Amino acid sequence: MICPEKIDTLLEARWIIPVEPAGVALRDHAVAINKGVISAIVPSAEAHARFAPEEHIVLENHALMPGLVNLHTHAAMSLMRGIADDLPLMEWLNNHIWPAETRHVDSGFVFDGTRLACAEMLRGGITCFNDMYFYPEASARAAIASGIRASIGMIAIDFPTAYASDADDYLAKGLALRDEYSRHPLLSFCFAPHAPYTVSDRIFNKILTYAEQLDLPIHIHLHETRDEISDSVKVHGVRPIERLHRLGLLGPNLIAVHMVYLDNGEIELLAQQGCTVAHCPSSNLKLGNGLAPIVSLLNADINVGIGTDGAASNNRLDMFEEMRFTALLAKGQSGGANMLPAWQALQMATLNGARALGLGALTGSLVAGKSADIIALDFSSLELSPCYDPVSHLVYAAGREHVSHVWVNGKILLNCGELTTLDERELLLRAEFWRGQMAAG
């Protein structure tokens, strides 16, 4: 007689959507988890005979899927949600956001703001986020406190702040932080030069050298507005993408955020160089910047992930909303209802983002050997009934309010809608404290 294999957790659900292979929905299957890793995904009857779990969770009306990967955000800016709405990007930055950051942003602000963002993201099924902000050491501590997976941006910008005196100082502090947390199981790092208009060629060259030595992604705002492009032509004689190409930054490690204004030659160049695009539809729309040519990017076989951007320009860290917008806008732009089907939007919000961050072997899909970064959605509500195709439902019908459970690395962080690692009441008090600080000027 063969003894059942002892494991930590067995999850059973009505459906399991693994993302790999694409478009598949497994009915009446179970996920076996041990030591934070997916051991197997098998039919429930087989799982009962094969495994002896310490914890057995049966979710009869739920769909299990990989946790969402937020490929671009500024988590701490959750504390700036709504302070300067309905303004174009550069007016928003120059007259409101940057002055507010100068007055208020410190490590305490970033720690509290990032925890607030982590709570919102976890409740919305996001298990991994790619961050870009000042005081990244505070972002790292906040992510660790919440238990979420995070790619921490080592920001670089060519003007002084309370955090750093110049771009070299930003990089030195970022690299020291990476050294400190290089072995942490939930943290990874990327270089995060803010944008071509705030970073010099010298610093870009320095970042490229470090990125090649350390094999780390480079995460940057790029081609977000028409003004950015025209200013680059005036100052550098070329559009920003061409400038970065001449500097050697275009390549498989580049995560280019927004990418609204692209010509056919630039799309071809991005494809040739293997770059990733982080698509942020809500932020682009809200700031009036336009719509990225997602269909053309996908047709060129460019890896496209999805991000929320920060809550100051979105104002939600809601990847279900971004997924739905991504699919619908692609259909509207192309005039083809068959463009960007649900399975592809789901892959963009999970596996594509993980691959961009160098985490594709670790997260982004439910596959044996990967970390157990899993979310469950409750399909028993009226607005999700009836369900003919759970993959379609995840993109077009379900929302973050249907997320009931979240596991990261096998640890439960949201249990029946309740956060397990963060104190909601304390977060609300800290948010109100910072609202008072910012309202006082």
Q: In terms of domains, do 74 and 27 share one? A: no
**In which domain, by residue range, is 211 found?**
68-356
C-alpha span between 241 and 243 (Å, rounded): 5
Q: Note the pLDDT tens digit of each residue in 415-440.
A: 999 999 999 999 999 999 999 999 88
User: Which residue in this structure is represented by tokens 């009441």?
Assistant: 425
Continuous H helices in 190-341? 201-214, 226-236, 240-247, 264-273, 281-286, 294-299, 319-334
Give me the residues paired with residue 56 across strands.
10
Q: In terms of domains, do 181 and 239 share one? A: yes
pLDDT at position 89: 83
Q: In terms of domains, do 191 and 332 share one? A: yes
pLDDT at position 3: 86
Question: Is it the case that residue 2 has pLDDT exceeding 80?
Answer: no
Q: In terms of domains, do 254 and 224 share one? A: yes
Q: Note the pLDDT tens digit of each residue in 373-418.
A: 999 999 999 999 999 999 999 999 999 999 999 999 999 999 999 9
Question: In sequence order, what are the residues at sequence separation of 6 or more whose Cβ sits closer than 8 angstroms to the Cβ of residue 73?
Answer: 117, 129, 130, 131, 132, 307, 308, 309, 310, 317
* CATH number where 31 lies: 2.30.40.10
Listed residue (19, 10, 11) closest to 394, CA to CA: 19
Question: For residue 365, is it within any domain?
Answer: no
Question: For residue 317, is it within any domain?
Answer: yes
Q: In terms of domains, do 56 and 114 share one? A: no
Question: For residue 349, is it within any domain?
Answer: yes
pLDDT at position 16: 98
Q: In terms of domains, do 47 and 126 share one? A: no
pLDDT at position 268: 98
Taking all residues of the chain, what is their mean pLDDT, rounded to a whole number? 97
pLDDT at position 76: 98
Question: For residue 421, is it within any domain?
Answer: no
Question: Is it the case that residue 1 has pLDDT exceeding 60?
Answer: no
- pTM greater than 0.95: yes
Question: Is it the case that residue 441 has pLDDT exceeding 80?
Answer: no
Q: Note the pLDDT tens digit of each residue in 103-115.
A: 999 999 999 999 9
Question: For residue 314, is it within any domain?
Answer: yes
- The structure tokens listed for 37 are 């890793």
Greater pLDDT, 131 or 84 = 131
Q: For the chain, how many structural domains are there in total?
A: 2
pLDDT at position 210: 98
Q: Note the pLDDT tens digit of each residue in 5-59.
A: 999 999 999 999 999 999 999 999 999 999 999 999 999 999 999 999 999 999 9
Q: In terms of domains, do 138 and 55 share one? A: no
Question: In sequence order, what are the residues at sequence separation of 6 or more whose Cβ sits closer than 8 angstroms to the Cβ of residue 390?
Answer: 15, 17, 25, 63, 379
Question: For residue 440, is it within any domain?
Answer: no
Q: In terms of domains, do 21 and 105 share one? A: no
Question: For residue 422, is it within any domain?
Answer: no
pLDDT at position 37: 98
pLDDT at position 440: 85
Q: In terms of domains, do 62 and 72 share one? A: no
pLDDT at position 74: 98
Tell me the average pLDDT across 168-181.
98
Q: In terms of domains, do 248 and 380 share one? A: no
pLDDT at position 345: 98
Listed residue (403, 246, 253) closest to 317, CA to CA: 403
* CATH number where 122 lies: 3.20.20.140
- The structure tokens listed for 387 are 């369900």
Three-class SS of residue 419?
Answer: strand
CA atoms within 13 A on the CB side of 403: 28
Positive or negative, the CA dihedral 319, 325, 326, 328 is: positive
Q: In terms of domains, do 16 and 46 share one? A: yes
- In Å, the largest CA–CA distance within the chain is 77
Q: In terms of domains, do 307 and 392 share one? A: no
Question: For residue 366, is it within any domain?
Answer: no
